[in-house]
Amino acid sequence: ITLTVVAALPTGAILRLEDGNSSFLFPVALDAVTANELAAARRIAPATVLLAPSPAGKDSVSAGFVAAANPYAVVVSVGAGNANGDPQKDTLDLFTGRTVLRTDERGAIVFATDGEQLWVERER
């Protein structure tokens, strides 16, 4: 298992966790401008699972970043009945064609891997 700091940002970081054939991308405190810059600089490698930057509001991620990460699945961590209306439709549209797992709909989401296969468990 390897954990890599892809980018250290003024307000957060982008972490990548790899175990065999499975990889996870965790962008913390990412904005669309920085996401585009990192994608254009080819610093974002494809990942099996992407944790959508929080909050999954407008301008939290970019189409270029999602294309570079090319995730099979995207986890959107948001509370049920979010007062800000997150996740925003524009953000969700960036994930079209991918498996989207929302915590407000599915509850806790847990991934497990043996390095070859990947399993996901949902609370509901």
Cα three-residue angle 40-13-74, rounded to 5 degrees: 75
Place of tokens 């847990």: 110
36-93 pLDDT, tens digit per residue, is: 899 999 999 999 999 998 755 567 788 999 999 999 999 999 888 777 777 888 889 9
Q: What is the per-residue pLDDT across 76-89, written as a single tens digit (0 to 9) for each?
A: 998 887 777 778 88
Neighbouring CB atoms inside 10 A of 13's CB total: 15
Q: What mean pLDDT, rounded, does the chain reach?
A: 91
Q: What are phi and psi of 73, to 5 degrees?
A: -130, 150
Q: What is the pLDDT of residues 90-112, one digit of tens each?
A: 889 999 999 999 999 999 999 99
Q: Is a pLDDT exceeding 70 seen at residue 8?
A: yes
Q: How confident is the model at residue 7 (pLDDT cuts 50, 70, 90)?
A: very high
| The pLDDT value given to residue 54 | 72
